[in-house]
């Protein structure tokens, strides 16, 4: 049997939430996706609130993953303990709310979703994502595993994909908000793309007003970033997985631009 998994890039601001609400279910139908994972850590610009998480689940997300902005909206803490369909990076050091792995039923299968975060140029106050992946994949009961690796460096994302080749059916990168064109299947059957991209304003710098980013690089005074306006895009990739062999057989981009 073939399982089609749709992975959606970082949802940014109100525009990202809006296009997700309007277009995700149609995209699921068009691609034949059975299961959808959405990275939602930028729904508030930085962070996500419980209300925004519920909106993404209502839009058609089966699981929401997060990243380095998990704690920018601290009210999400209790929600992470209560709602099993939202994950935060498993390798956060110390005692924090929530979980970094969940097992979900789909098409009669148990799908383990892992949320991990990189350390290179992002946050050194984390446990090793590589060791965390080993620990998580060696516990629990599941039929196949997929991974959202939220990381800055393309090298760290690629290294993780090759490290988990044959153990995860699919691994995709998030965080950098720029879609990459390297959809591939590694030798032992792991489907991989370096970064999904983002779901948010098209005419922007990573979802924010360009002038705000320009101001920063010209040495201007720091200011609060504001979401860009205008038409949005939805960046996503579709992974087709052979559930008997537990290997990915196809990876393709599934982007929408308005």
Q: Which residues of 42-76 are buried (b: 16+ CB within 10 A; e: fewer)?
A: bbbbbbbebebbebbbebbbbbbbbbbbbeebeeb
> Is the predicted pLDDT of residue 117 greater than 90, yes or no?
yes
DSSP symbols for 55-107: HHHHHT-SEEE--TTGGGSTTHHHHHHH-TTB---TTB-SS-SS-SEEEEEET
154-163 and 129-137 helices cross at what angle (nearest 10)?
A: 30
Specify if 213 maps to a domain.
no
Give the CA-trace dihedral at 229, 61, 236, 125, to 10 degrees.
Answer: 80
Specify if 30 maps to a domain.
yes
Q: Is 212 a catalytic residue?
A: no
Specify if 19 maps to a domain.
yes
Phi, psi of 65 (to 5 degrees): -110, 160
Specify if 215 maps to a domain.
no
Q: What pLDDT is attached to residue 95?
A: 84
**Which CATH number goes with the domain that contains 147?**
3.60.21.10
50-59 and 13-31 helices cross at what angle (nearest 10)?
A: 20
Question: Per-residue pLDDT averaged across 123-127, rounded?
Answer: 82
Q: What pLDDT is attached to residue 14?
A: 97
Number of domains, the chain: 1
Specify if 225 maps to a domain.
no
Give me the catalytic one of 69, 150, 177, 212.
Answer: 69
Specify if 11 maps to a domain.
yes
- Mean predicted lDDT score pLDDT of the chain: 96
Specify if 214 maps to a domain.
no
Specify if 212 maps to a domain.
no
pTM reported for the whole predicted model: 0.96
d(CA 128, CA 136): 12
Question: Per-residue pLDDT averaged across 85-89, rounded?
Answer: 98
- Residue 78 tokens read as 């209790």
Give the domain extent around 73. Answer: 2-202+232-257
Question: Per-residue pLDDT averaged across 206-216, rounded?
Answer: 90
Q: Which of 40, 43, 90 is nearest to 66 (CA)?
A: 40
Element (H, E) at 201: strand 198-201
What does DSSP assign to residue 194? Answer: S
């Amino acid at each position: 049997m073939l399982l089609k998994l749709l992975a959606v890039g970082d949802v940014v601001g109100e525009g990202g939430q809006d296009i997700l609400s309007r277009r995700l279910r149609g995209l699921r139908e068009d691609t034949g996706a059975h299961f959808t994972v959405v990275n939602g850590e930028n729904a508030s610009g930085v962070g996500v609130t419980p209300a925004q998480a519920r909106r993404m689940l209502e839009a058609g997300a089966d699981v929401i993953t997060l990243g380095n902005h998990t704690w920018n909206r601290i009210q999400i803490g209790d929600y992470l303990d209560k709602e099993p369909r939202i994950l935060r990076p498993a390798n956060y050091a110390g005692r924090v709310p929530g979980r970094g792995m969940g097992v979900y039923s789909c098409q009669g299968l148990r799908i383990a979703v892992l949320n991990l975060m990189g350390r290179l140029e992002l946050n050194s106050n984390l446990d090793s994502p590589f060791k965390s992946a080993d620990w998580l994949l060696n516990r629990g009961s599941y039929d196949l595993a997929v991974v959202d690796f939220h990381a800055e460096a393309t090298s760290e994302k690629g290294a993780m994909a090759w490290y988990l080749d044959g153990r995860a059916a699919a691994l995709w990168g998030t965080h950098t908000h720029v879609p990459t064109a390297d959809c591939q299947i590694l030798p032992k059957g792991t489907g991989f793309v370096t970064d999904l991209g983002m779901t948010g304003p098209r005419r922007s710098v990573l979802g924010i007003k360009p002038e705000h980013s320009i101001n920063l690089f010209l040495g201007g005074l720091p200011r609060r970033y504001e979401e860009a306006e205008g038409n949005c895009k939805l960046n996503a990739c579709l992974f087709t997985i052979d559930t008997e062999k537990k290997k990915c057989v196809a990876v393709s981009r599934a982007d929408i631009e308005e």
